[in-house]
């Protein structure tokens, strides 16, 4: 059981820690101190739900159907290209989409932040590839008891990660008082999004 918990934690960690749209969104909200608990909790709950669905059988079914995985990969690549393009455009203009003054931050309603968190999480097909297809597919060969242990390990890492970067981001606040740092972060976001999109496109090409 312990071996499967550790295996689930390692696989989940290797996927979730890779910088992506969702992680950078949580980092942004953490820097802005903007409803951090709810942002982190929503990301964790979505991860828990999707990984549970994948590990309990859906992941194996989808991974056995290349048409479905290719569609998810293509949609994920398009989403990431769009996200990355907007980030680079903001960096070039010097008006970062992430740089929000403290007064504006206070005016952001909880509903607005919740909807934005759900959008960046559930409208990104790459999230489904990681949680349902990859994690679920790997767990497809396990017994029922092993799957539960595997899931425990995977969701523990998810919980620690999202609340960690959400609340830990405030340690970087002094650094991000400089406008230049927001521009650099936007550039990083754009480049990472393009790289992940490239990997998804290559995944589809190699599977054809």
- Confidence (pTM): 0.76
- Scanning 94-130, the segments in alpha helix (DSSP H) are 102-107, 110-122, 125-128
The domain in which residue 163 lies consists of 2-207
Q: How far is it, in rounded angstroms, from Cα 78 to Cα 185?
A: 21
Output the pLDDT for position 5.
92
pLDDT band, residue 47 (cuts 50/70/90): very high
Per-residue pLDDT of 52-111, as tens digits, reads 998 887 877 777 788 888 888 888 888 888 888 888 887 887 655 455 444 444 456 889
pLDDT band at residue 1 using 50, 70 and 90 as cut-offs: confident
Number of domains in the chain: 1
CA atoms within 13 A on the CB side of 20: 27
């Amino acid at each position: 059981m312990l071996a499967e918990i550790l295996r689930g934690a390692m696989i989940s960690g290797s996927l979730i820690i890779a910088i992506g749209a969702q992680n950078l969104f949580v980092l942004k909200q953490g820097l802005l101190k903007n409803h951090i608990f709810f942002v982190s909790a929503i990301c964790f709950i979505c991860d828990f739900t999707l990984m549970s669905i994948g590990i309990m059988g859906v992941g194996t079914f989808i991974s056995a159907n290349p048409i479905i995985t290719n569609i998810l990969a293509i949609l994920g690549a398009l989403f990431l290209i769009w996200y990355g393009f907007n980030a680079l455009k903001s960096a070039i203009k010097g008006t970062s989409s992430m740089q929000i003054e403290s007064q504006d931050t206070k005016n952001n309603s909880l509903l607005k932040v919740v909807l934005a968190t759900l959008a960046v999480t559930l409208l990104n097909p790459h999230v489904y590839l990681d949680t349902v297809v990859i994690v679920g597919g790997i767990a497809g060969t396990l017994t029922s008891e092993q799957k539960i242990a595997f899931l425990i390990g995977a969701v523990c890492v998810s919980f620690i990660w999202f609340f960690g970067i959400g609340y830990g981001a405030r340690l970087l606040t002094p650094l991000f008082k400089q406008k230049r740092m927001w521009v650099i972060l936007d550039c990083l976001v754009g480049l990472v999004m393009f790289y992940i999109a490239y990997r998804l496109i290559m995944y589809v090409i190699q599977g054809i």
